[in-house]
Amino acid sequence: MRTLRHLMLMAALSLGLAGCYKDDIDVAALTNNPFDADYSGPAIFSLDTIYVEQVTGPPNFLRQVVQFKVNASLFLAPASYQVEVHDLLEGTRTLVGQVPPGSHTLRFYRLEYLPGQEVCLEMRLTNNNAFGRPETICGTWP
Amino acid sequence: MFLCVHLIGALGLLAAPAIAQTTGQLRLVVDPGHDFQVILDGTHRLQERVLELSEGNHRLQLWAPTRRIVDTTVYVRAGSSRELTVRLPYSPEYLAHQQEVKRFRERLWLNKALPTVATVGAAAWTTVSYLNYRKAGRQLQDDKDLYNTSADPGAIAELKDERLPAHQDDFRRSKVMLGVSTGVFAVAAAYTIWSYRRADRTPLPVFDDKEKVRFDGLVWLPGPDGRGVWAAGLTIPLR
């Protein structure tokens, strides 16, 4: 009887320990955060529209606007961010912020007016001078 | 048998006061005082403290359980009273038995104490290992939560390149340690249970009082025809 009691105690202890089992983490599988440079999920950026707008001055001038969207539904938690836009044609890099804050529709302005030309922009989410996975969106200037 | 001895004593000795001038009184002061026995002149086995004896030399053989037989001769003067003080020494068998019992108890204590200490130690080790394992597991979970909530690509890169691998190493080490300590604890606990059961089943050393056997063999009862009878005792330990 005592042996049985001891065995039951051991079994309960084993079950208790088994219940406290912790899982290891597969680091290679952690690729679902859009701010991760190794992000492997769906595209974060999508081209919304490209248009030309008149800026009233003085001086008055025209500028080209690439309006794109950030798919914030992919974020694992609400976050503010900037987007680095690399103009592959010009070679310039520009940080674009959320205007207004909380908005996920961003605009990249280009002063050089190149009508009818295809332009590709490489975009990355950024915070604190560090960058996520680059994605390229292309469009044609009006 | 003792009744017979007493009757003989009563007939042979206690009748003596009737002849007042020819007997003397001998008072026995014996250590141990509660259960000693005496064989008087090789024939009468008594448990009296005061003896009325005829004048002359009398042989007294005194014994008590666990003690040696002390054999002495006393001269009793008629009409006088004297005291005989005797300390019965412990028998060598009893001293050896005491040593054996002591060794037995020490062995028993060790047989229980060592596995118990080992089990308690293993349990403490297992507890500490489990706490470390839980802490390492929680750290990994915190890292995962940080990954899921972070919007800082630099922090994410540092997490994945440095902190997570280090924490994973900690976690795997603590997991191995928990497995080893749990195994040691299980073995120690099983061994402790077995030790207790074995110790409980081991019988205590039994004392064989050889002096009693010798003492029992010392009584010779003279018969009316002059041949007599040896009286012997038989001890059956009842459990």
The conformation of residue B90, written as its DSSP 8-state character, comes to B
Lowest average pLDDT, out of A50-54, A108-112, B151-155, B157-161, goes to A108-112
Instruction: Give me the pLDDT at residue B235, please.
Output: 61
Q: Are strands B23-31 and B81-87 parallel, antiparallel or unpaired?
A: parallel
Give me the interface pTM, i.e. the ipTM. 0.85
Distance from CA of B233 to the nearest CA of A (A): 43
Which residues does chain A have within 8 Å of residue B178's beta carbon, measured at their own beta carbons? 17
More confident residue, B102 or B2: B102
CA-CA distance, B46 to A80, in Å (whole number)? 109
| DSSP structural state of residue B234 | -
Instruction: Please report residues of A whose CB lies closer than 8 A to that of B153.
Output: 35-37, 125-128, 130-132
CB-count burial class (<10 Å; 0-12, 13-18, 19+) for B6 = middle
User: Which chain B residue has the Cα nearest residue A35?
Assistant: B153
Q: Looking at CA atoms only, how far is residue B63 from chain A in angstroms?
A: 46
Q: Are residues A81 and B182, on separate chains, in Cβ contact within 8 Å?
A: no
pLDDT above 70 coverage of chain B, percent? 83
Question: Mind listing the pLDDT tens digit for each residue in B182-205?
Answer: 999 999 999 999 999 998 898 889
Distance from CA of B152 to the nearest CA of A (A): 5
Bridge partner list, B29? B85
Domain ranges of chain B: 2-91+212-229, 94-201
Which of B30, B35, B91, B34 is closest to B214 using CA atoms?
B91
What pLDDT score does B4 carry? 38
In chain A, whose CA is at the least distance from the CA of B127?
A: A17
Q: Is A80 on the interface with B (CB under 8 A)?
A: yes
Name the CATH topology of B2-91+212-229. Answer: Immunoglobulin-like (2.60.40)
Largest Cα span, chain B: 125
Lowest mean pLDDT among A14-18, B56-60, B76-80: A14-18
- CA atoms of B127 and B209, how far apart (whole Å): 52
Say how far residue B34 (Cα) sits from the centre of its chain: 22
Neighbours of A74 (CB within 10 A): 15
CA distances from A20 to B26, B125, B133, B137, B227 (A): 83, 17, 10, 10, 88
- Interval B37-54 mean pLDDT: 89
Question: For residue B143, what pLDDT is reported?
Answer: 95
Grouping H, G, I as helix, E, B as strand and the rest as coil, residue A93 is strand
Burial B133-146 (b: 16+ CB within 10 A, else e): beebbebbeebbee
Mean pLDDT (whole number) for A83-94: 91
Of A18-32, A35-49, B109-123, which range is least confident?
A18-32
Q: Helices in B58-209 by DSSP H: which ranges?
A: 92-149, 153-158, 164-201
The confidence band for B1, taking pLDDT boundaries of 50, 70 and 90, is very low
pTM of the model: 0.68
Whether A4 has its CB under 8 Å from any CB of chain B: the answer is no
Closest CA to A123 of A45, A47, A48, A65: A45
Single-letter residue type at B51: L
- Which pair of structure tokens corresponds to residue A111? 């002063």
CA B15 to CA A71: how far, in whole Å? 127
Residue B152: which of A3, A17, A35 has the nearest Cβ?
A35
* A contact test, residue of B119, B134, B147 with most A CBs within 10 A: B147
Q: What is the mean pLDDT of chain B?
A: 85
